[in-house]
Structure 1
Amino acid sequence: MTKRQTWLALMCAVLFQQPALSHADEVKVGLLGQFSGPYSWWGKEYQRGVDLFLDQSKGKVGNDTLTVVSRDEGGVNPQRTRQLAQELVVRDHVQYLFGTAFTPNALAVADVANQTKTPFLIGNSGTSSVTSKSPYFIRMGFTQWTVSVPLVQYAVSHGAKSAAIVVADYAPGQDAIDAYSDTLKKLGGTVAAQVRVPLGTTDFSSYLQRVSDAKPQAVLLFMPVGPMSAGFIKAFKDRGLDKSGITLLATTETMESDLPAIGDSALGLQTALHYSPYLTTPENQAFVAAYKAKYGKDAIPSIASVAAYDAMHVVAEMVKATHGQKDGDKAMATAKGLAWTSPRGPVSIDPKTREIVQNVYIRQVEKIDGVLGNKPIATYKAVMEPWYQAHPTTVQ
């Protein structure tokens, strides 16, 4: 047994021998998020989604009161995330965990979830294999495969048979390469070039030159939300690659939070994603209205706030099933196969993979009431996580 496993075992013994410090009928949820630094947008949006759910439910599930304890991961820091998860479960006696914005941080929670049987609802991690690391993991966001496959299907159906793949060089970027290239080849297309861009890049000129030299019909892009997304899209337009006949297609890169920085360079850009605040369903319109009422008329919900809002819905169902008691196995059994109508559309939890089954929307950046936004123009319904469909033996 490693030192870390020994420490965890001792902490688990403390956890299960000591009485809970929370008052009777209180169920605690631990929120792990980025509340400081360049990716603090994630933490803010998670908190907003959680708080909106608590407002609407009055913080109650039957006779139980939901309390959320938030902690700052402080960047891509697996060691810190693991420590925070341990403290939340052992010291703060949370029954459920939610959050993280990066794959390494999500993976760091596996030991804690496994040894304490604590359900962990992952807010964001695009790497498909993550949920195979613990039977107590549930993904509330999306994988890069989930949105990449429909994007390629859409591109090919609209005449793009040759594409350059441009990704940020980290784990979800490799998933994007695999998903884009595998799907493109299956549909009879060709990969003109694969371009990996180091994280933190601000000058994209050499990478765009490689794209230009490859002469593809399209570019399939993956960049993390934030400066790299905005920088690449603006550089692509400034270099005139769109005018040379190359179509840029992406996924999360035109988040409403990034569109002001990108500006009109984003107009017309088409992306594939599982949510848009401009969905016209009654559930989403009610969600957007409530979000604006709470956070201001210019506030716009996002994939992060929707993930948090839906995660709290799942937690509430698990609390009902366990009558507020800590029972990770019963809670997970309740979540498997759970179906409801989310602001993002009809969703369910795949009982085999614990991945969320959801619509993927093709969105186009337009000016909507004078503001840049992603308007849905096509729908791929009830998309099951494609990587697990191709790798069924990896499910834990």
Structure 2
Amino acid sequence: MEFPGRFKHFVGMACFAAGMALSAEAMADTIKVGILGSFSGPYASWGVQFRNALDLYQEQHQSKAAGHDVELIYRDVGGNEPARAKQLAQELVVRDGVQYIIGLEFTPTILAVADIATEAEVPIINLNSGTSSVTRASEFLTRTGFTQWQVAAPAGEYAFDQGKKTAVIVSADYAPGKDALDSFRYGFEKKGGKILEEIKVPLGTTDFSTYLLRIQEAKPDVALVFMPVGPMSVGFLKAYVDRGLLKAGIDVYVGAEVQETDLPALGDAAVGIHSVFTYSPYQDNPENTAFVEALTKKYGAKGLPNLATVAAYDGLALVYHMIEATKGKKDGTAAMDSIKGLTIQSPRGPVTIDAKTRDIIQNVYLRVVEKRADGVLYNKTLATQEAVKDPWKELNPE
């Protein structure tokens, strides 16, 4: 039977569309996940830890979720470079066809990609930015790191409970630093402590002498300190110890700044520094024991995990859950809905994604640096606050 020309054209186009649909279905067998991080530059240690954790997770799960191959596509942001982060996120979505993005260490970089998450409906798992408000920048953002309010507010309370009545707050001068200032103050004053001074340190500072002099002259009982993990945190704490402030009786309370991967650079002078944080490779639970053993077996001593490692590991666990929940289909809304209220057993302890805020709920640990019999420096847990929500969101509901 002969069909009219126009109808033949329609049938041909329909067959072409069907073929493209089948082709797309076949291509969907591989789920692509974009990884954005600092793999070069002064913050390259973050990229190393991201890759260690993600490659281990892939190996443990045979790079498969819901019957689909999972491919990780790494891109180097090179530090706190918002324009580059946005460019790379756009390329990952448009050119590479990723369905999910994991990574980023700085608030400016995560905010730079928020619009892309919204417009493309691509879930983005923020691994480190500690600014509470970032998850409100897009309904497709969640977090597996921590917020400054989660650790700094309890640190302020903890310092007061240890007999510290006056404090100076010292913080890097950018968005998470603002949160650190506010949350340290909130926790310390809530208990009845007095803040003598707030000191803001420009991002990238290497000479801390002026700021340390101000602490010395203020004569507080304690310095409550936030610096981004890496060159600034190590540099500040080394300078603090070298100047003799600890010996002068001005204790220092921090968060991630004394993570175990940085303690060798600080040496024995770190002994006695208190911190409040969410993870240590020496935490005693079955998941963490297996996690540390797997990493050190795979990478040797350099595999010792830190906050970046566990955040990346848990971040990919969320992605795998979303792939399972959507059966591999590209549906950002359904993917995000699937993790609301989800609880996973992380190496750091139980982790839940708040069903209302999409932010992380987790334990925080009150700790002190000690030296083991074998000479290894570590954070000894003194107490645990369980299932801590982000206090800022509790105080500032939408």
- Provide TM-score, normalisation by structure 2: 0.92
Residue in 1 that maps onto 2:259: 255
5+ residue gaps in structure 1? Answer: 1-15
Matching of residues 337-348 of structure 1 within 5 Å: 337-348=341-352
Q: Is residue 248 of structure 2 the alignment partner of residue 244 of structure 1? A: yes
- Pairwise CA distance, 1:116: 0.8
Select 2:292's aligned residue among 280, 288, 293. 288
- Pairwise CA distance, 1:244: 2.2
Residue in 2 that maps onto 1:302: 306
Residue-by-residue CA offset, 1:299-357 (whole Å, 9 max, x unaligned): 31111111111011111111111000100010010011000110000110001111110
Residue in 2 that maps onto 1:319: 323
The amino acid across from 2:341 in the alignment is G
Residue in 2 that maps onto 1:4: none
3-state secondary structure, aligned to 1:192: strand
The answer to whether the 8 Å contact 1:192/1:214 transfers is: yes
- Pairwise CA distance, 1:18: 12
Deviating 4+ runs (over 3 angstroms): 16-24
Q: Is residue 112 of structure 2 the alignment partner of residue 108 of structure 1? A: yes
Matching of residues 65-214 of structure 1 within 5 Å: 65-214=69-218
- Pairwise CA distance, 1:24: 4.2
Residue-by-residue CA offset, 1:138-197 (whole Å, 9 max, x unaligned): 011011111101111211111112110011111111111011112222211110111111
Identity %: 52
3-state secondary structure, aligned to 1:253: helix
The answer to whether the 8 Å contact 1:20/1:93 transfers is: no
> 1:364/1:18 Cα in 2 relative to 1: closer, same or farther (>3 Å)?
farther
The answer to whether the 8 Å contact 1:256/1:373 transfers is: yes
Residue-by-residue CA offset, 1:36-55 (whole Å, 9 max, x unaligned): 10001111111111111111
CA distance in 1, matches of 2:21, 2:367: 52
3-state secondary structure, aligned to 1:82: helix
The answer to whether the 8 Å contact 2:153/2:185 transfers is: no
The amino acid across from 1:212 in the alignment is Q
- Pairwise CA distance, 1:363: 2.0
Residue in 1 that maps onto 2:15: none
Residue-by-residue CA offset, 1:98-147 (whole Å, 9 max, x unaligned): 00011110001111100111000001101111000000000110111111
3-state secondary structure, aligned to 1:392: coil
CA distance in 1, matches of 2:23, 2:103: 26
Q: Is residue 32 of structure 2 the alignment partner of residue 39 of structure 1? A: no
The answer to whether the 8 Å contact 2:371/2:378 transfers is: yes
Select 2:229's aligned residue among 225, 228, 232. 225
Residue in 2 that maps onto 1:9: none
> 1:229/1:242 Cα in 2 relative to 1: closer, same or farther (>3 Å)?
same
Q: Is residue 296 of structure 2 the alignment partner of residue 329 of structure 1? A: no
The answer to whether the 8 Å contact 1:361/1:379 transfers is: yes
> 1:371/1:334 Cα in 2 relative to 1: closer, same or farther (>3 Å)?
same
CA distance in 1, matches of 2:92, 2:339: 22
- Pairwise CA distance, 1:17: 10
- Pairwise CA distance, 1:227: 2.0
The answer to whether the 8 Å contact 1:233/1:265 transfers is: no
Residue-by-residue CA offset, 1:238-278 (whole Å, 9 max, x unaligned): 22222222111101111222222211121111111110000
- Provide TM-score, normalisation by structure 1: 0.92
3-state secondary structure, aligned to 2:387: strand
5+ residue gaps in structure 2? Answer: 1-19
- Pairwise CA distance, 1:370: 1.8
The amino acid across from 1:277 in the alignment is P
Residue in 1 that maps onto 2:4: none
Q: Is residue 395 of structure 2 the alignment partner of residue 384 of structure 1? A: no
The amino acid across from 1:64 in the alignment is H
CA distance in 1, matches of 2:340, 2:302: 36
The amino acid across from 1:60 in the alignment is K
CA distance in 2, matches of 1:22, 1:88: 20
Number of matched pairs: 378
Residue-by-residue CA offset, 1:183-238 (whole Å, 9 max, x unaligned): 22221111011111122222222211111111111100001112221222122222
3-state secondary structure, aligned to 1:256: coil
The amino acid across from 1:370 in the alignment is G
The amino acid across from 1:392 in the alignment is P
Residue in 2 that maps onto 1:372: 377
CA distance in 2, matches of 1:169, 1:281: 36
CA distance in 1, matches of 2:295, 2:266: 24
CA distance in 2, matches of 1:147, 1:46: 22
> 1:146/1:19 Cα in 2 relative to 1: closer, same or farther (>3 Å)?
farther
Considering only aligned residues, what root-mean-square deviation do their CA atoms show, in Å?
1.7
* Larger gyration radius, structure 1 or structure 2: 2
CA distance in 1, matches of 2:21, 2:311: 33
The amino acid across from 2:51 in the alignment is Q
